[in-house]
Amino acid sequence: MVTRVLTVSLLAGLLAGLLISALQHVTTTPLILKAETYEAALRAQAAPMQAAFAGEARLQLAHGPADHAGEHEWKPRDGLQRTAFTSLVTIGTAIGFAALLLAGMIAADERIDQRRALAWAACGFFAFGLAPAMGLAPELPGAAAAELQQRQLWWLLTAVVTAGALFVFLRAEVSWARALAVLALLVPHLIGAPHPAAPESRVPAEIAAHFAALSLAVQAALWLATGFAVGVLWPWATRRSAATAAA
């Protein structure tokens, strides 16, 4: 069973990740690159002033961010290297999604086929993508944001509560349990997501809005593609496992 889960997770994540990586390359990546030009321009304007206030030891700030040793922070170069690293991250994310889907469906004793895997994938997107985005929308480089730890805690609370509430709402047969599940869905949003005191952004609002919408669409596509791949590959892996055991 464990070998089958790992095999299907890897294969489904690889197939879905490669497909969505190509989609990202023509949708969200150009917007990220455009936003980085705004961020770099503002940093270049602010650097001389920062250097003047910080003294001679900080004159290197005019050439970009640096660590304590005075060396520039490494990042993938634009072009093939950046595309390769982005694709690897997307494939790794898809593998994680596939493992989550399989773990949840097996734990719930759910039959794994294309229709059910797609339904679970849609719920996964709602819990881990859409619901958190209602409070913390996908952000471009240069956007103002609250403290990272606060955002992570709120995102985790929202994802866990939403996933649990969806499971109860779809599985419970009594109305009071479903009513409690609906109330639970509202709790993270009643608490409210953390936001900066001064929500200023270096990126034009129309670009930020376009990126948020495209990011959610791409994430939905990644969940559904992963779910479809899981639904196709799991029965195949099961038949192969049974044939091997019979032989």
pLDDT in tens, 192-229: 888 887 666 677 778 888 999 999 999 999 999 999 99
Closest by CA position to 9, among listed 109, 104, 138, 132:
104
- Looking at the domain assignment, is residue 218 inside a domain? yes
Most confident stretch, 19-28, 75-84, 216-225: 216-225
Q: Mean per-residue pLDDT for 162-175?
A: 92
The residue segments making up the domain with residue 226 are: 2-21+77-143+201-246
C-alpha closest to that of 231 among 107, 121, 125: 121
Based on the number of CB atoms within 10 Å of its own CB, is 173 exposed (0-12), middle (13-18) or buried (19 or more)? Answer: exposed
pTM above 0.75, yes or no: yes
d(CA 244, CA 247): 5
Mapped onto helix, strand or coil, the DSSP state of residue 229 is helix
Mind listing the pLDDT tens digit for each residue in 26-42? Answer: 898 888 888 777 766 65
* All residues at 6 or more sequence positions from 200 whose CB lies less than 8 Å from its CB, including other chains: 144
In a domain, 124, yes or no: yes
18 DSSP 8-state letter = H
The total of structural domains in the chain comes to 1
Confirm whether 234 is domain-assigned.
Answer: yes
